[in-house]
Structure 1
Amino acid sequence: MASLTLKGNSINTSGELPKIGSKLTDFKLVKTDLSIASLRDFAGSKVVLNIFPSVDTGTCATSIRKFNESASKLDNTKVLCISRDLPFAQKRFCGAEGIENVINLSDFKDGSFGKSNGLDFVDGLLAGLNSRAIIVLDANGTIIYTQQVSEIVDEPNYEAALAVL
Structure 2
Amino acid sequence: MIYCHKCAKKVKDDVSVCPNCGETIVSPLKDEEVRPLVQTLHKRSNYYRNWVDRGLSYIVIGSTLLIIGVIFYFLSFQTVSSAEGQGQVLVLNKSTSEFWVFLVGVISGGTLLIVGSAFAIGFGLARRIIRRDVELIRANKSSQVPPIYGMKKPTPSSSKNSAGK
TM-score (norm 2): 0.17
In proportion to residue count, which structure has more strand? 1
Bigger Rg, which one = 2
